[in-house]
Amino acid sequence: MTKDELRAELERQAQRYKDVYGGEVITYAAQPDPDRKPWRKKPSLLDQAFDKEIEKIEKERQDKQDAADEAAG
């Protein structure tokens, strides 16, 4: 069933309801879907280990830089 056929069927049903029951049909616009959050990759164990190694190397580098600054100053 296509959208046009579905619309026509719903219109027929609404008209029938009005004719048979004398009721009023109130139609509402569909609510928009909530915005989807962007997809994020969950870090794997290797990703976590790599990040820890990078942090460790940066800390060692900073410690060496601080020691060199104290020795020079």
Task: Quote the CA–CA distance of 68 and 19 in Å, as a whole number.
Answer: 92
Task: Quote the CA–CA distance of 60 and 73 in Å, as a whole number.
Answer: 20
| Measured CA angle at 37 (ends 34, 39), to 5 deg | 145
End-to-end CA distance of the chain: 82
pLDDT tens for each residue of 16-58: 888 888 877 777 777 777 888 788 888 899 999 999 999 999 9
> What pTM did the predictor assign?
0.42
Task: Quote the CA–CA distance of 51 and 53 in Å, as a whole number.
Answer: 5
